[in-house]
């Protein structure tokens, strides 16, 4: 049984990134993440790698939710405002809406790896376990996705930081 | 952490977790964490079973009373024949034992006078002779 303080810390630290991760597939990511945490409480023996286990459960739940709620999502898409991915509106001259729009145009494999790596803090080996691929494939998808985002956002391929717009 | 500047800038965004109901999740997690052990489940099951059996015994309608069917073959009891009412010899025997030969009832009982005849009872003793003269 997981101590309550560990559960709170895990929820505060990984809850928002997990929501963002689940959002790559479905429009009800909060429900999926909540179900994943409840499953974590219900399991008789805590998994060895809790964070990786949570990402895998959230991934499966989000894919299932996307399958079952696809029709409902289509109907409600026009009525609901677009979900906010990030708290900040702008970071270091990078507009959040533009970044989100560029990410949404990426293939799901690249988006998944970028989110898990940048905001989930998972290593490429952990991502490979979650996404059922090799670590090299995960790294390749990540690199390709970052390059595509750079092109989408009109940023030069350089290591120097751009001045604020 | 990230060598690529774009990756570094993107990672500075904070994912929005406002849609997560923390209180509701903690409440649901608290409920989900309570597990009923198998011993308690077995005990509860046994109590339910015994309670059901008890109630069944209490409220089950009793079976209808069925009168015992007599046996078809009559049994002949070996009875000793009672003396006939008109048996004269028996009657006379009883009379003689009660009245005796002198035709008195209870002849063997000795009847004594309850108060002896002599001497007569007086309130005082006999009077002195000088007084009588």
Instruction: Give the total residue count for chain B.
Output: 133
pLDDT at position A163 is 41
Domain A88-165 CATH class label = mainly alpha
CATH 1.10.150 corresponds to the domain A1-83? no
Domain range summary for chain A, segments of one domain joined by + = 1-83, 88-165
The rounded distance, in Å, linking the Cα atoms of B129 and B133 is 6
Closest CA to A22 of A112, A98, A88: A112
Contact of B42 with chain A, judged by CB distance below 8 Å, is answered with no
Q: Is B127 on the interface with A (CB under 8 A)?
A: no
pLDDT score at A47: 86
Better-predicted residue by pLDDT, B132 or B54: B54
Q: What tens digit of pLDDT does each residue of B29-52 get?
A: 888 777 777 888 899 999 999 999
* pLDDT value of position A93: 86
pLDDT given at position B74: 60
Residues B50-107 have pLDDT tens digits of 999 999 988 887 777 777 776 666 666 566 656 555 556 667 677 666 666 666 666 6
A146/B29 touch (CB, cutoff 8 Å), yes or no: no
Shortest Cα distance from A17 to chain B (angstroms)? 6
H/E element, A91:
strand A90-91
The CA distance from A15 to B20, in Å, is 8
**pLDDT at residue number A29:** 92
Which of B3, B29, B37 is the best residue to mutate to test the A interface, defined by the most A CB atoms within 10 Å of its own CB?
Answer: B29
Give residue B86's pLDDT: 55
Map out the domains of chain B as residue ranges: 23-61
pLDDT (tens digit, 0 to 9) for every residue of chain A, 165 residues total?
A: 677 778 888 999 999 999 999 999 998 899 999 999 999 988 878 888 899 999 999 999 999 999 887 666 666 666 666 678 999 998 888 899 999 999 999 999 999 999 999 999 999 999 999 999 999 999 999 999 999 999 988 887 755 444 443
């Amino acid at each position: 049984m997981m101590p309550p303080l560990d559960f709170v810390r895990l929820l505060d630290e990984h809850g928002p990134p997990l929501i963002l991760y689940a959002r790559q597939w479905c429009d009800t990511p909060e429900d999926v993440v909540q179900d994943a945490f409840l499953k974590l409480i219900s399991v008789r023996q805590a998994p060895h790698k809790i964070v990786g286990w949570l990402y895998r459960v959230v991934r499966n739940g989000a894919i299932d939710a996307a399958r079952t709620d696809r029709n409902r999502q289509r109907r409600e898409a026009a009525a609901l405002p677009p979900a906010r991915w990030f708290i900040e509106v702008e970071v270091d001259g990078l507009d959040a809406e533009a970044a989100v729009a560029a990410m949404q145009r990426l293939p799901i494999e690249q988006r998944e790896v970028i989110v898990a790596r940048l905001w989930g803090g998972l290593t490429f080996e952990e991502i490979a376990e979650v996404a059922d691929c090799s670590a090299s494939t995960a790294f390749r998808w990540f690199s390709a996705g970052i390059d595509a985002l750079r092109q989408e956002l009109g940023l030069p391929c350089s290591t120097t930081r751009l001045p604020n717009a | 952490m990230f060598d690529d500047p774009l990756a570094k800038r993107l990672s500075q965004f904070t994912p929005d977790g406002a849609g997560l109901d923390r209180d509701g999740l903690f409440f649901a997690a608290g409920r989900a964490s309570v597990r009923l052990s198998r011993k308690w489940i077995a005990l509860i099951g046994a109590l339910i079973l015994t309670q059901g059996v008890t109630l069944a015994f209490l409220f089950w309608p009793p079976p209808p009373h069925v009168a015992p069917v007599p046996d078809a073959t009559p049994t002949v009891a070996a009875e000793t024949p009672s003396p006939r009412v008109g048996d004269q010899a028996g009657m006379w025997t009883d009379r003689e034992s009660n009245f005796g030969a002198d035709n008195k009832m209870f002849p063997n009982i000795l009847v004594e006078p309850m108060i002896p005849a002599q001497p007569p009872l007086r309130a005082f003793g006999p009077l002195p002779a000088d007084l009588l003269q």
